[in-house]
Each structure stands twice: as C-alpha cells, then as structure tokens.
A and B are shown apart, each in its own frame.
Chain A
Amino acid sequence: MTQKPGERACAHCGAPVRAPVDAAPDVPLYCCAGCETVAALVRDNGWQRFYDERDGFSPRPSGALTEVFDSPAYAAAHAHEQADGTVEARFRVGGVRCAACVWLSERAISCQPGVVDAHVSYGTNVATVRYDPRTTRLSSLAATVASLGYTPVEPTLARHADRDDLVRLGVAAFCAMNVMLIHIAIYLGEARGDMAARYLALFSWASLVLATPAVFYSAVPFFRGSWQALRHRLLSMDVPVALAIAVMYAHGVAMAFVGGAGYLDSLTMLVAFLLGGRVLVAQGRDRAANAAEAVLATAPDDADVRTSDGVRTIAAREVMPGMVLVVGAGGRVCADGRVTHGGAFVDISHVTGEAAPVAVGAGDRVPSGAAIVSGALDVRVEVAPAESTVARIGELVRSALDERSPVTRLVDRVAPWFTAGVLLAAAATLVGWTIATDLTTALPVVVAVLVVACPCALALAAPTTLAVGIGAAARRGAFVRSGDALTSLAAVDTLVIDKTGTITFGTPRVRAADPDTLALAASLELGVRHPVARAIVGEAERLRLPIARAYDVESIPGGGVRGTIDGSVVSVTPDGPETVLVSVDGAPRDRIALADVVRPDAAATVGALRLPVLLRSGDHPEVVSRVASEVGIADARGGLRPEEKLAEVVDAQRAGRHVLFVGDGANDAPAMAAATVGVAMGEGAHAAIATADVVVLEPSLAPVHAARVVSLEVQRALKLNARFAIVYNFGAVLLAAFGLITPLISALLMPISSLIVVGNALAVERRTRRSLARGEAAEPRGAVLGAVAVGGV
C-alpha cells in the first residue's frame, strides 16, 4: 500500500493515517479506537508475535451481533452436550487471513473463563470450542473473536459424528484380539483332546464376555442399518451381516453352557474388519466436507458500508441490495454489484478463469469475491451475498456431496440377491439335514452356513482397493478426493478441458520483443503485480537487460501503466488480446508480443488419454484456436462464460456421456462439480481445487493420465475382488451345507479371504507402474518414476 507524504499505515488494519509531525517512526499509529483496542488487547496478553508473523494487515474490528449463537436452532445444529456437562460447539472464524490469525483467535478463546478447550482448524477456520455452559455462553466466545476484528459466522456443514465409529472400531479390535488369543487355546485343546472341562468352560465364558461389547456396542450400526432397511422393505448389505453376527453370538451363548469352540473369534474379527472399512469411508467424506467449507471461506465475511456519517463495518450477511460498499486494495467485494465511484484493477479469475486483472470504473459490474489488486471502489450492491456467485458455487458443492456413491449403489443392488440366496441356502440346508438326520444335527450345520455366508470379503473389497488406488495416484502427483471419484474416472468417455492454466501455464510469457523496448517496459513495470508486468520484468531479467529507475509510476484506469523514465513519460498499454503497446511521450514506439505458453506435456497427455476432447475456454476465440491446433484438438470453442461451460458439460451428460473435466479457475468450479469427474490444476483458484474430485499439484498434465491409468487398474481390481468374494461365499456356503465347516475352519477362512482381497488391492500399485511404463513414449516422467521405484525395491 502506498502512502502520501505525512501518512503512515495503521499498525493493525493498514488504513492510511495522518502522522503527527512529532511522531517517532517506530511508534505504531492507529486509524481508529477499534484498531488501537485490539492492539492493546494483543499486547497486554503477550500475544505480540501475532504482529510479527501475520502475512498482511488484519481486519478492522466490528460490532458483529453474536446473540444468534445462543439460539436453540444454532445449538441444535452445531452444539453438543458432553457427558461431563460441558458443551462442544462450533463456529467459523471469518476474516482469518493467515496462520497467525488462527493462532491469535485460538489463544483468545482459550483464555476466556469457562473454556475447557478451543481449537481452530487451519484448513476450514472452524473453531471447535468446549466450554462450561454455567460459566459462559457461546455468544460471548463469539464476541471475543469479534472484538479482535474477526467475524464469527455459522459453519456450513454440521459435523459428522465419526468419533463414535472410531471408538466402536477400538472396542471391536480390542475384543477381537483377546478372543482370538483365547480361541487359540481352545483349538489346541480340542486338537489334543485332553483339555479339562473346567478350562474349556473358563475359555468359553471368557470369550463370550469379551465378545459381548463387540456385538452390543460395536456392531450397533449394522443392526440399526438392517433394521432400517427391513422397515422400508429393502435388503441392504447390512442385513446378511447383522444376521451372521446374531447367529454367531447366539451360537456362542449356547456353546458357553455346553463348553467348546464357537464362532466368537470369527465374529469379533468380522466386526473389527467391517468397522475399519467404515472409518476409511467416513474419513474420505469428511475431507470432502472440509473442502466445501474451504470454498466458502474464500468469500469475505465482513464489509465496509458507506453511511451518511462515514464508513461502518458490518457482517457480510447483513449486507442488503442498495447499500454502498467501500472496497480498497487487497479487499474483496462481498456481493454482486455495480461500481458507483472510483476505478480499480480487480482480479475476477474466480469467475472468468483468466489471470489478468480487469480494469473497472463507474458503471461497471463486479461479481462477489472480486479482489481489488490496486485502486479503490464504491460498489452499489445489487444482489445480497447469500445469492451471490460464491454462495452459489458453495451450494453446488454441497449438493454434490449429498449424492450417493456409485460403489455403494452397486453393492446395494447386489445385496437383495445375495441375502435371498443365503436365506434360501440356509433353508435348504435345514430341510435337507432334518430329513436326512434330525433337527439337533441339522442346527449346527445351518449355523455354519449362515456364518460363512457373511459378506465380509465383499464388504472389504471396495474400501481397501480404493485406498490403495488413491495412494498410487497421489504418488504420481494426482490427489484423488474420494474413492468414488476414482471409480468414476474409469468410466469417463469424454474429456472437456479448459485452456488457460490447464493446457497452458496460465501466465503470459514474452514471445517477441525488441530488447530496448523490453528494457524500457521492464523499468516501468518493475514492482507492478499484474501478470503481464511480471512476464515483461521476468523476460528482461532473463536477458540481463539494464533496468532504469522509473518515477511517478501509476496505473491508467482502463488498463496499463504510466511513469517517468529519464525525463520522458513512458506508458505501457494493452493493444489486442496478446500484445502491449509501449509509448514514449505519447507517441507509440513499439509492441511487445505476449503469449500464454502451452505446457510441454499437454499434447502427449491429451493423446495418451485416448478420449474425445473438447477444448472450452473463456478466453478470446482466436487464442483458443491457436492453442487447440498446437495441441491437436479439433473441437475448440472460446469466449465462454462459466454458465456456458457448465451447460456444455450438462449437455454432454444428457447425451449419455461421462465427462472428465480438467480446469483451473474458480469459474470452472460449477462445471467441475457437474462433471462426472473434475480435475483441478493445483496452481489454480482455491475454489476450483475445493470443488474438484482430483487435484494435480505439479505444474504438469501428466498426473491426469496417471490418475486415469490408476482408475482403470482399480476398476479391474474391484471387479476381480467382487468376483472372488462372490465365488468364496458361494463355495464356503456349499461346503458348510455339506457339514464341512467347523469353527476352526471358519476362523481360518475369514482372514484368508480378507487377505486375498487386500492382496488384490495392493496389486493395483504394481500394475499401474507396469501400464505406465508400457506407454513410455507418451509418459516419459512416469516411466522414469517407475524405473526408480523398481530400482529402489
């Protein structure tokens, strides 16, 4: 921020302050009482390092209303009473700009009386506070945050109750390990045939006691799931699982009285394995929910509003159409509106995807989320923040999360047939054995049928395979958000790809320029933050051109920069989509040609994917067709708005196609959310990354291909595992029906089948390496990585 002579920046919020003549340079100055109070608060509590470590200036404190946090509706959604009488509640700390802000707000909440524990997440800025409701209220904790200049707001999503699942898993694992140890003694005793009856009774009763928590606490979700399914007259995968658990436990109770080996070790192991899978899936969903929170965190939470007696800061949700917002450099516009006053360069890449800031002046429209790069604006609000662009993007993400995954749908489709088959087999066994022998001989056989029919391997197959696949993709630079994204990626048959920042690097580079002109322009542009300026300065530095000192550098509203070098006025102004004009004393002198350079691996990757490609960009059609021919894409269209990109994706899907969308800007976020699979280039906008199913964190397109190869391998392993699991269950049921399965054999079969399924899953990594190595020509980096990995092993 630049100051006029005699002005300094407010030590808290950075607003210009008129400095008294006698002010010492190292004494901090404040723009208002509010900022001074915050600074005093920070100093008095010994939190001075906040000012040393923050990345930029902090928001000015506002009198945000916090009563809403005490309302019953808020408590129902975001507060939970704990067993010890404390309450755990959540709210998002709006206005957090850096790690130091997280630190400061967390400290401030922790220091309040009645607060047991406070934690502010770095990723989502959500504060989780545990406090004593008799001492304090959530509203006063929110007020603490507000007094520091942050805005407490309601978090978007209610927390998933996954702590319970983890505890259930812990209990089941504890039970399984102990019961297994005891059962080894039982099996050995049975094999030798000389175990005293009282020890057998001891072991049987001990394993029954130990298996009880696994059934009545850990396995509750399976019972509840199957009860709900049955009530709706459906058969889900939970039904055969719950049936097997119930049968095994009942058998165990009977065996405790008789003395002897039951299926309790198989039972506890089964519950532990299945809960492990559940926890894996829940973690994936939580990560996606956090990502959605991160999208909404990009929207500003407070706004400066012009009133009759000056400027007032209010919470973004209180902003109404008709209000006039005052936004300065570094700030963001919180609602869609029209400029009434001023001029500025704004970054609206989250809507257009193009990196270059746009000049706006009075009468121009600005979308919410627009960041002011330089200048200042008065904006009359036309649409309330809740209906603004950023809010709509958040809405899209949220609805996408609610959708059910294809893998779950597939498993649920098999479930009725599976359950019916098991019940039929059990009934047939019962009838057959009762006719052949009698009911007392028949019952243990029926129990064995129901036990080995439990679809443990089938239930485990998908989560483990997906987990390995996600790891394999991550090692190759593609971060897959969920297992479902990976399976969907195998099904895509159309590629819709963005240009700027995806096929190209996204930032312009100098293509052709006269060195003298370039040196002149670079002298002027040194220190300007516009991407074109950076490209010019970067090229000049690369060529080691002499850079002169420029004076009175200012931006020209409407685009460009002007300044004085060696006594003459030099200006650099845009001239066509990819050229800038350098003028000296008003007379045009020369042009500098710029271009967004195509990534070197773009053509190879697009070719290796072997999919029909549609290039869709918001950029100038001329530029788009040049890039398309360079990469070898026949179907290219430019000048598209975000809605049109979204429409392209939706149209293709209506025509029955599965769309893979690769992009980088937040303007791509709606299309990315709608696409079967959305891939975001990691250097792109935050919102795009948050919406994407796959994020590529390298400056390269090769990971997109790698992720596709991984997904195909995962698909293969999933099919193989599903087939194996079904064959295993079928074979085991057959053996059991002929009375060949004993508790010992079941205890051996259960882990062996699980290990085979996991082994198949682990093979995904090896196969991926081989597939990528085969496509060497298209994939040199992958092949090298593969070779290194093989050499390393």
Chain B
Amino acid sequence: MDILIVLLPLSVTLAAAFLVLFVRAVRSGQFDDLDDGARRLLDDDR
C-alpha cells in the first residue's frame, strides 16, 4: 500500500488544478454579474 504516498499527493494535485481553474474564473469576473450573460445571449457576433 506504499503506493498511497504517491497517489495521495497526485489526487490532491488533480483536485487543486480544478480549484485553480475555479479561482481564475472568479478573479476574471465570470461570477460578478450572473444576469448579464443571459442578456448577452441575445447579442450574436461575439
């Protein structure tokens, strides 16, 4: 079961990668105005 010493950090790293993606999405303002996206759908050419 010593493989756990590799697998545990590996799975945490994988999950951390998703966390980084989420944090970047928040910081880039994707969650700032949740109503705006719905209205922008009506705009083509974007």
Binding site for B on A (CB under 8 A): 49, 99, 103, 117, 119, 121-123, 128, 163, 166-167, 170-171, 174, 177-178, 181-182, 196, 199, 202, 206, 210, 283, 287, 290
Contact = CB atoms under 8 A, between A and B. Distances in A.
B33 to A, nearest CB: 5
Contact of A170 (B19, B33, B36): B19
Contact of B8 (A170, A174, A196, A202): A202
B43 A99 contact: yes
Contacts of B4: 199, 202
A122 B40 CA distance: 8
B22 A170 contact: yes
Instruction: State the 7 A-B residue pairs at the shortest beta-carbon distance, nearest first.
Output: A174-B19, A122-B39, A170-B22, A166-B26, A167-B23, A167-B26, A163-B26
Contact of A199 (B1, B23, B42): B1
A174 B13 CA distance: 11
B15 A178 contact: yes
B31 A163 contact: yes
Contacts of A171: 19, 23
Contact of B45 (A49, A117, A122, A181): A49
Contacts of B23: 167, 170-171
B36 A121 contact: yes
27 contacts: A99-B42, A103-B43, A119-B29, A119-B33, A119-B36, A122-B35, A122-B36, A123-B35, A128-B29, A163-B29, A163-B31, A166-B26, A166-B31, A167-B23, A167-B26, A170-B19, A174-B16, A174-B18, A178-B11, A178-B15, A182-B8, A196-B1, A199-B1, A206-B8, A206-B12, A210-B12, A283-B34
Contacts of B12: 178, 206, 210
Contacts of A210: 12
A210 B11 CA distance: 12
Contacts of A202: 4-5, 8
Contacts of A178: 11-12, 15
- Categorize the interface residue count of chain B: 20 to 34
Chain B at the A interface: SS class = helix
A174 B15 contact: yes
Contacts of A196: 1
Chain A at the B interface: SS class = helix
Interface of B: 1, 4-5, 8, 11-12, 15-16, 18-19, 22-23, 26-29, 31-36, 39-40, 42-43, 45
B35 A177 contact: no
A174 B20 CA distance: 10
Contact of A128 (B8, B19, B32): B32
Contacts of A166: 26, 31
Contact of A163 (B1, B8, B27): B27
Nearest to A177: B15
A178 B16 CA distance: 10
Nearest to A164: B26
Contacts of A170: 19, 22-23, 26
Contacts of A290: 33, 35
B10 to A, nearest CB: 12
A25 B6 CA distance: 77
Contacts of B35: 122-123, 287, 290
A119 B32 CA distance: 11
Counting chain B CB atoms within 10 Å of each CB, the highest count among A128, A174, A210 belongs to A174
A202 B28 CA distance: 36
A117 B29 CA distance: 10
Nearest to B22: A170
Nearest to A83: B27
Contacts of B28: 117
Nearest to A171: B19
Contacts of B40: 122
B27 to A, nearest CB: 7
Counting chain B CB atoms within 10 Å of each CB, the highest count among A122, A171, A178, A196 belongs to A122
Counting chain B CB atoms within 10 Å of each CB, the highest count among A103, A119, A121, A167 belongs to A167
Contact of A123 (B19, B36, B45): B36
Nearest to B5: A202
Contacts of B45: 49
A332 B36 CA distance: 26
Contacts of B43: 99, 103
Contacts of B19: 170-171, 174
Given A170-B22, A206-B8, A290-B35, 9 more contacts: A119-B29, A121-B36, A167-B27, A174-B19, A196-B1, A199-B4, A210-B12, A287-B35, A290-B33
Contacts of B39: 99, 122-123
A783 to B, nearest CB: 31
Contacts of A283: 34
B3 to A, nearest CB: 11
A771 to B, nearest CB: 30
Contacts of B15: 174, 177-178
Contact of B33 (A123, A167, A182, A199): A123
Nearest to A195: B1
B44 to A, nearest CB: 10
A196 B11 CA distance: 21
A355 B45 CA distance: 38
A276 to B, nearest CB: 14
Contacts of A199: 1, 4
B5 to A, nearest CB: 7
A196 B12 CA distance: 22
Contacts of A49: 45
A320 B11 CA distance: 66
Contacts of A163: 26-27, 29, 31-32
Contacts of A103: 43
Contacts of B34: 283
Contacts of A181: 11
Nearest to B18: A174
Contacts of A206: 8, 12
